[in-house]
Amino acid sequence: MDLLWNIVQEGYNSKENRKYETLFTLANGYKGLRGAFEFSKLGDRGNLIAGVFDKNTAQVTEIVNCQDPLPLNIYVENELIDLDICEVLSYRRNLNMKEGILEASFKVKTRKGRIVSISSERFLSRNNVHRWAAKYTILPVNFCGKVFVENMIDGTMTNSTLDPVNITKHFEVKKIVDLQPGIALESSTIDKGIKIIEGSYVTGIGESGNLLKERKYNQFGERVRELYQVFAEEGKEFTIYKFGATYTSRDTKGCLNTLLKEEINAFIYDGYEKEKIAHIKKWNTIWQDIDIKIEGDDEAQTGLRFNLFHLVASAYEGDEKVSIAAKALHGEGYKGHVFWDTETFMLPFFIYTRPEVARALLMYRYNTINGARKNASLNGFKGAQFPWESADEGIEVTPKWGEDYYGNPVRIWTGDIEYHINSDITFGIWEYYRTTEDKDFLVNYGLEMFLDTAKFWQSRVEYNKEKDRYEISRVIGPDEFHEHVDNNVYTNYLAKWSVKKSLELVQWIKEEDEVIFNKLCIKLGLNNKDLEAWENIQNKMYIPRSKDGMLIEQFEGYFNLKHYPITEHDENGMPIWPDDVRLDRLGETQLIKQADVIMLMLMLREEFDEDTRRENYRYYEKRTMHKSSLSPSMYSIMGLSVGDTQNAYRYFMKAIMTDLDDNQGNSELGLHAANTGGAWQSAVFGFGGLSVDKDQKLNLNPWLPKEWKGISFNINWRGSILTISVREKEIELSSTGDIELKVYGRDYNLAQDTSTIVKR
């Protein structure tokens, strides 16, 4: 097994089941199937289908944990093969990231002494997202006898199994179908009646053909199963294939049952191996786009691939009404909600590697803009106010109440006042356009989002007459330790940027296509007075700074808060709370949760000179607790951009190992998806030193930590694939199209399909 391409779990411990369910989740953008193992009942299974949301009795609308199509039970005579009941003689599972296949191999001894060896694999097809399949090869080591194969769909699933207060069942089982052979179960969500059908079919092949005999079909309440008998012979292995298919009423207006039957029949006709090969081929293409090769550091190589694998698995170009949740399709954490995490942390990866997916992610925002308009209207604002937490409609779905570090109930204000999401989205649109030059998107969708959020800002900012400036008071910035602050720089600066960019785009579209501009003005109710107001806002937006102008004050009054120097770090190099800090009064300190000013400077790097960035980096780095998985990777990039290389590798490794080491202690709830994007950014923007300058030109300033011999990756720059290989002494560049770029500040013109070597 190639350890650079595999995440391996050696040895079974049921206490780790939930963590591995996340780590071993298979997803294809359409659906995520948590990596529960068929041969243990302990854990928190999950079948999440992108876009299937429901509220019912839950606190807020959340992603639905749908009926579970995974169960495949094997009984030797009457003994269930269950890792928690049998003696486990050997056990290994591994995520084959190269091919997108979850593999396993184990041997158990039943209580009656029967030894069985099973190897299995499972994939969610990337070739046809409605298909998934599994294969089980079973070897009766020391017995002959009846083996029962039970294929089941479990409709008893609920959400929030790990959260007793919030357990909710989001669907009713509506129809159970005997496909004769094969089984299907159709459910319907409570609020909107979204219908979901899961179906499956098993075959068994041995030396003399079909092995499956004496089919028995049963319905047990909300569960359906078919059971087959296999006569197993000692030492003769046999194989069971399971073909699964999924449809929802989001996909089609047709009859789900018919569609499912057709899909399964077609799948059987194609065969397991054919679909698997097509799936692997898709993954090959994906890896060509996204892979980053690190030489000389196997842990970093495998760990980084783990992040890229799950990030790319979490989205696809086929659905413009869904985006990537904070925990992706890997768990119910954060209720399947979409945060700024997507645009700020994950989107750059897609922009630079799979721009068609980036477009679909941005289209999700466009398709939920009516919800954003409702938010603005409900809150007394104009235009579109995108929600801090977003589900299927763009309506704000942030829970109103949560718990503090002591478990006390606290009002969650982010959904009310963490406004920066609006410019995070427009920044994402800009970054997408800058990189892809996708004018169609900008003109038809991006522009409307720019202008309607500018309208929102226009209604939200407050004019301080006395000081002749615009302010935004009582907000939460990226650093959520400080709530209800005035003039958070990140918020103000990006609002200003977004309004300014809107004005530029107005100029541009007027010239490009005035008809479109006029249509938009009518649609959004804009006129010259609004544009004048925007001009004023972008001119006079207040940005708090230190007296010398170098140090940016995170928000008004921040410099006056009490400074608690961070002096100690844990074994992972992460800060330890300074003594005497009260965790329920962090707002009174200068300690911050995560990159805030630094984040701004990373996004709008070209607007801050290196000295300013360095000064601010040094200042805030000492005050950042990194209590968000979004933070370390950003500090690593900024550190590298200002020549502070000492923490970069440590922060990078911390980022890529977040889930693999479960170093936030909650990986069981789902993937730290933003962090996976941060890991990519850290590699490409940090070590790769990729940035875009004021002239919209690509810059490369690579730096290699001592642990590495090289790093190489592809990026898609305006339709050309640029291959960058950074080695100890040189950088090799090649491109599928002509590209002008700067390396270490020097201009290079790369000609199509030629290789350029730059000495380091």
Q: Which positions touch a second copy (CB under 8 A)?
A: 14-15, 41-42, 57, 73, 75, 77-78, 80, 84-85, 111-112, 145-146, 148, 150, 155-156, 158, 162-165, 167-169, 172-173, 216, 218-223, 225, 227, 229, 407, 665
Q: How far is the CB of 177 from a second copy (least distance, A)?
A: 17
The H-or-E segment that residue 79 falls in is strand 79-80
Give the sign of the dihedral formed by CA 272, CA 273, CA 276, CA 281: negative
Q: How far is the CB of 569 from a second copy (least distance, A)?
A: 21
Q: How far is the CB of 561 from a second copy (least distance, A)?
A: 29
Q: How far is the CB of 409 from a second copy (least distance, A)?
A: 10
Q: How far is the CB of 202 from a second copy (least distance, A)?
A: 14
What are the strands, taking DSSP E only, across 318-392?
none
Angle, to 10 degrees, between the axis of helix 447-460 and the axis of helix 514-524? 40
Residue 518's contacts (CB-CB under 8 Å, 6 or more residues apart) are none
Distance CA 189, CA 208 (A): 44
What single-letter amino acid sits at 694? K
> Please, which residue, 73 or 536, has the CB nearer to a second copy?
73
- Decide: 103 and 120 in contact? Cβ < 8 Å: yes
Give the sign of the dihedral formed by CA 583, CA 587, CA 591, CA 596: positive
> Please, which residue, 85 or 255, has the CB nearer to a second copy?
85
Q: How far is the CB of 36 from a second copy (least distance, A)?
A: 14
- Decide: 664 and 629 in contact? Cβ < 8 Å: yes
> Please, which residue, 14 or 756, has the CB nearer to a second copy?
14
> Please, which residue, 11 or 407, has the CB nearer to a second copy?
407
Let me know if 692 is exposed, middle or buried by CB neighbors in 10 A (0-12, 13-18, 19+): middle
Q: How far is the CB of 407 from a second copy (least distance, A)?
A: 5
499-511 burial string, b = 16+ CB within 10 Å, else e?
bbbbbebbeebee
Q: How far is the CB of 20 from a second copy (least distance, A)?
A: 14
Let me know if 543 is exposed, middle or buried by CB neighbors in 10 A (0-12, 13-18, 19+): middle
> Please, which residue, 85 or 268, has the CB nearer to a second copy?
85
> Please, which residue, 42 or 522, has the CB nearer to a second copy?
42
> Please, which residue, 67 or 375, has the CB nearer to a second copy?
67
> Please, which residue, 75 or 508, has the CB nearer to a second copy?
75
Q: How far is the CB of 156 from a second copy (least distance, A)?
A: 5
- DSSP, collapsed to helix, strand or coil, labels residue 758 as strand
Closest CA to 344 of 372, 386, 399: 386
Show the tokens assigned to 382: 């104009």
Q: How far is the CB of 52 from a second copy (least distance, A)?
A: 17
- Decide: 154 and 71 in contact? Cβ < 8 Å: yes
Residue 194: CA count within 13 A, CB half-sphere:
22
Place of tokens 């079974």: 12
Distance CA 506, CA 528 (A): 11
Residue 92: CA count within 13 A, CB half-sphere:
9
> Please, which residue, 63 or 101, has the CB nearer to a second copy?
63
Q: How far is the CB of 672 from a second copy (least distance, A)?
A: 18
> What are 647-651's contacts with CB under 8 Å, separation 24+?
647/573, 647/621, 648/682, 648/686, 648/687, 648/703, 648/705, 649/705, 649/707, 650/573, 651/682
Residue 58's contacts (CB-CB under 8 Å, 6 or more residues apart) are 159, 160, 166, 168, 170, 335
> Please, which residue, 148 or 685, has the CB nearer to a second copy?
148
Question: Maximum Cα–Cα distance for the chain, whole Å?
Answer: 90
Residue 41's contacts (CB-CB under 8 Å, 6 or more residues apart) are 82, 84
Q: Which residues are tagged catalytic?
A: 480
- Decide: 17 and 663 in contact? Cβ < 8 Å: no
Bridge-partner residues for 7, per DSSP?
A: 95
> Please, which residue, 80 or 255, has the CB nearer to a second copy?
80
Let me know if 426 is exposed, middle or buried by CB neighbors in 10 A (0-12, 13-18, 19+): buried
